[in-house]
Structure 1
Amino acid sequence: MSQLDRDLEALGPTRPLEDIPGVQSIAYGVVRPEPDPLGVPMIGATEVMDGDVIDTVPRRIAPHLADRHPRTQLTEGDLLVVLVGRVGETAVATQRHTGWNVARPVAVIRCTPQARAEGVDVWLRWWLKTPHIRRYVQASSTNSEHVTLPLQALKRLPVWLPPQGAERTRHLHTITLAQRRLALNAQIARCATELADAHFTRACPDPAHALATRPIGETGRVATGSVRCDAAEHLQEIAFAAAKEVLNSPTAHLQETAAQTWVAPDAACPPGTLLVAPRPGEVRTVLSTTPVAPARGVLAICTETETDRLWLLHALRAASRDLMTTAQGEAARAMRRKAFSRFLVPWPSQGVREDFARIASPLHDVVRAVTAEQSELQDVVTDEMTRRSERDR
């Protein structure tokens, strides 16, 4: 018996997900979507990020295709589970997503109204985050070019559900408190970043007045992304930042990535690297918190000092729409490094940039702190869920 089998056995009395009372259906979405700019919005795997649906610019598909997949036509409260790439990542459909559909790499778990009233849907979302179940999901996934969790494996996923009554109420109360704290932390991170943006705007005089500028390429080293590489003896493993992860990062700090790649030790971008990626209408910039390698469609900028890094981050955030002139392709999904490097950004004196950094740096410390707490809080809740199930064995 493997360690995973022993861990799952230790969970106590479990049932397959598909046999949990109140689970109405488990299905994946549209296999061959046909783009339609006026059609039905569709959620893909890359839009499910850190427990939320990032739907700023949703893809749309032909209505007749959405109609062929009624079990994945979303209603408020449906649980979305990623089946390809970041397998097991979850989010909950909101009222805004009613009538939308999902792509093939996303499964929809729908509970009956009674089960939702009993908190079964909330429990399942957090149960999928528990350590044993994360290992089950990884072990059950195929190791093809894109890691894939078969739908049957999701249906067979073992679930321990606390009995109705005081115990389930206590569990759900704990989860509710955690969710409130997570939402508050997300708001704190947004406000801290926006406050730094506001201070940057105050530090920049009216554009009509003369202001020193500098090409981006002279503020730091600009590097293009590359394809993912396999392991090799002379290479080191490192986080691989895809364009979608830059675009969908919930904060200006990219904490982790779904995939790893292998690069020469001197080719790794250090923590604090600026990662830039475009999509129609905007160019998004985030700071990496770990060593990283950019994927195709992502540009990386390494600066010499934190002062330069923070000023450039907010300069690029302020110029998000104007930077579209450096993107290329019909869908504006790639950046022209030379054009991007020539793009002029405000670059006042060292003193002005240092004054801004003294204000912005503590605000970014707040973002990093609450983001770290998000992960720790989730671990506390999921560990407690697992321990309770083991005690009830």
Structure 2
Amino acid sequence: MTRESLEHRLQRLPGGWGVGRLGDLPAVQFIGYGITRPGAHTEDGVPMIRAADIQEGRLRGDEPRRIDHRVHETNLRSRLEIGDLLVVLVGRVGETAVVGAEFHHWNASRTVAVVRANEPDEAAWLNLWLGSPAVRAWCERQATGSTLHRTLSLTALRKLPVPIPPAGLRAPLLRAVRLLEEKTATNTRIARCAMDLGEAHFAREPRDGTSWPERPLASLVHLTAGTAPRPRPDDEGAHAERGTAFVAPADILQSESPHLYATERRLPPGKEGRVCAPGSLLVASREDGVRTVMNQVPAAIGRNVLALETESVSDAYWLLYELCSRSAELAATAQGSAGRELNRRAFAATTVRWPPQEVREQFVRLAGSLHERARTARRENEKLRDLRERILDGFLSGTFPGKTADPLEDLTSGGAR
């Protein structure tokens, strides 16, 4: 969306609406950023939300950075409360998520802004507005800095225009959005449980040391090191649908799913070089372990990413689980102070116990069905996200909740198909 389209949207608001700046709204109690100097990771410390922990409108708390309790106590202004809205300030600027009960009294890093409203409906309305594509694009335009360190200032965030509907008009909208969020959360749990079941089944597979030979990875896969150039902000097609997905280590390391469906950047046609087909295994590393995902779209891989292409689907699924189960061990194949540079030769020499074909095929029949269930849940969430955007568009144009008195009926009729 262009800047003009956002302004045009606000100019076309129904009668009786207003527009205010985020920082000037009476409902907003606090806008600030998190801890500037968190110090070293402390195993028994207070968890801290970073920009990388905010993905697709949700908070991830599986591998939190933890800060010393003394650091936390001296930074209580950024201590999180239930209902706080978090906004990414560095990198994927403008991405947002709401603090739930499981993150109560965590803290936040400097890469995240904390927006606190004075009551739940105000927070829900701000979350809906800030989570819209138009606002995300607005934040991108306000950001400064290089591709790797795009930064949105608090000054700019406070100037974000926010539509203000007449009193009492939001109730059916927020009710409908809550239903969508509940269904989205259910789908997310289904996908996570499906992956957990796959891991549990793989862990139960018997390893027969006498009959399963040890094979180096180099003999099982075609292994390629990434060389694609990182897209520049001014590259035509860097954000376009027609470009080829560019995979950086962060895309792999920050992926909550073992499937990689999309990336932040794209390479325009003619600049992608060699492209990995869907079903390839993509690997990246950091000091605490190696992360492996299976890409679902054609992808060009950048530096410090390895691509493993197998001869069959059963080989790919078996190796996906094998590499994931040995994440910490495989960190030894990386180099550099932060363990970010995978050594292609060392990784290729890694040996695995290789089961007979019938064992791999039997495993993929179960694992494949679980992965398909997870993909179905994700597809449903994508449709729910689109529906949420249409509902917001309808509300801003004065056509929601429609002809019926019950927004649930509108959602389950034509608009939800």
| Shared fold, TM over 0.5 | yes
Aligned match for 2:274, one of 267, 280, 285: 267
- Amino acid aligned to 1:34: G
Q: In the alignment, what sits opposite 1:18?
A: 23
* Superposition deviation, residue 232 in structure 1: 7.3
- Deviations along 1:107-140, one digit per CA (max 9) or x if unpaired, are 110122xx12xx2212221222223323322333
Q: CA deviation at 1:36?
A: 5.2
Per the alignment, residue 305 of structure 1 pairs with: 312
Match in the other structure for 2:264 = 258
Q: Any conservation in 2 of the 1:129–1:382 contact (CA below 8 Å)? A: no
- Letter of the 1:125 counterpart: N
Report the counterpart of residue 128 of structure 1 in structure 2: 130
Q: Which amino acid aligns with 1:30?
A: I
Aligned alpha-carbon RMSD (Å): 3.0
2: CA distance, partners of 1:388 / 1:143: 35
Distance in 1, Cα, partners of 2:311 & 2:351: 18
Q: Percent identity?
A: 39
Aligned runs of 1:30-45 on 2, under 5 Å?
A: 30-35=35-40, 37=42, 40-45=46-51
Give the length in aligned residue pairs. Answer: 386
Contact 1:315 1:346 (C-alpha < 8 Å) held by counterparts = no
Query: Cα offset for 1:6?
Result: 1.5
Cα 1:215–1:42 change in 2 (3 A) is same
Displacement of 1:50 after TM fit? Answer: 2.0
1:27 alignment partner in structure 2 = 32
Q: Structure 1 residue 217: deviation in Å?
A: 2.0
State which of 85, 94, 107 in structure 2 corresponds to 1:79. 85
Unaligned runs of 5+ in 2: 401-417
Deviations 1:238-287 (A, max 9, x none): 32333333233222112222233467444222222212233454432111
**Which of these residues, 154, 167, 181, is aligned with residue 183 of structure 2?**
181
Cα distance change of structure 1 residues 65 and 205 upon mapping to structure 2, 3 Å threshold: closer
- The correspondence for 1:351, drawn from 353, 358, 365, is 358
What's the CA shift for 1:144? Answer: 3.3
CA displacement, residues 292-347 of structure 1 (integer Å, 9 cap, x when unaligned): 23344432212233222122112222333332332334543443222221112232
Structure-2 change in CA distance of 1:242 and 1:56 (3 Å): farther
Describe the shift of the 1:2–1:248 C-alpha distance in structure 2 as closer, same or farther (beyond 3 A): closer
For residues 51-66 of structure 1, what are the structure 2 equivalents within 5 Å? 51-61=57-67, 66=72
Residue matched to 1:341: 348
Matches of 1:161 and 1:346 in 2, distance apart? 61
With the length of structure 1 as denominator, give the TM-score of the two structures: 0.86
Which of 1 and 2 has higher RCO (CA within 8 Å, sep 6+)?
1
Where does structure 1 lack aligned partners over 5 or more consecutive residues? Answer: none
Q: Which residue of 2 aligns with 1:213?
A: 214
Partner residue of 1:285?
A: 292
Report the secondary structure of 2:198's partner residue: helix
Change (3 A) 1:295 1:33: farther
Q: TM-score, normalized by length of structure 2?
A: 0.81
**Counterpart Cα distance in 2 of 1:209 and 1:99:** 52
